[in-house]
Chains A and B, each alone.
Chain A
Amino acid sequence: TQLLEQSPQFLSIQEGENLTVYCNSSSVFSSLQWYRQEPGEGPVLLVTVVTGGEVKKLKRLTFQFGDARKDSSLHITAAQPGDTGLYLCAGEKAGGTSYGKLTFGQGTILTVHP
């Protein structure tokens, strides 16, 4: 059973469209991160959210942490081909005994066509 469920697994859209990626769990997380990964490289951190209900914006990207800290979403406005990549959510389970240990979702492969 996947602790963090990401959806959709694949997303293929045209330039200029909007999209949302979801990261859901039945567990509570003390913090949640979103990473973006390009082929042949390691993931790069986009944002960290730590407070229930928190919303963070990074240019055309909007990140939201659910009120109960069990879910998160990433919304991209007016997607561009440069947004293409693998998007990963990762969280530290609340009440865990191994601080710093992250659990990753299975990822969303986004392709934005010009």
Chain B
Amino acid sequence: GAGVSQSPSNKVTEKGKDVELRCDPISGHTALYWYRQSLGQGLEFLIYFQGNSAPDKSGLPSDRFSAERTGGSVSTLTIQRTQQEDSAVYLCASSPQGLAYNEQFFGPGTRLTVL
């Protein structure tokens, strides 16, 4: 079956512009996560959706970052007024039940470059 997909794969934008990153999780997975990864580094947690519960937004670095998940499926991460320090790979993952010991299935990521 299809895995997690993300679009676009690459995004180059100018400082101050808004960007939207999309994630299509595996069908039926109730949990969806967004992470940020700097070059060759570990993953920084951003936000976590689990079913119909209120999302855990504790990892969002500023109020310029927001995310939504429509219909319990597709998710969009929006970064407003982008800054150069926002440049990174943004990874999305989904999981069947949102339990930590369940495997998280990752998409290939969106590489964001802010000029």
Contact = CB atoms under 8 A, between A and B. Distances in A.
A33 B42 CA distance: 13
Contact of B101 (A33, A43, A104, A107): A33
Interface in B1-29: 4
A109 interface: yes
Given A31-B100, A42-B109, A43-B106, A98 B48 contact: yes
A48 B108 contact: no
A6 interface: yes
A30 B99 CA distance: 11
Interface of A: 4, 6, 30-31, 33, 40-45, 48, 50, 86, 88, 90-92, 98-107, 109
The 9 tightest CB contacts between A and B, nearest first, are A42-B106, A92-B100, A100-B98, A106-B42, A31-B101, A104-B43, A104-B42, A45-B103, A107-B42
Interface of B: 4, 31, 33, 35, 40-45, 48, 50, 56, 58, 91, 93, 95, 97-109
Given A42-B109, A103-B45, 9 more contacts: A6-B42, A88-B43, A98-B48, A98-B56, A99-B50, A100-B97, A102-B33, A105-B42, A107-B40
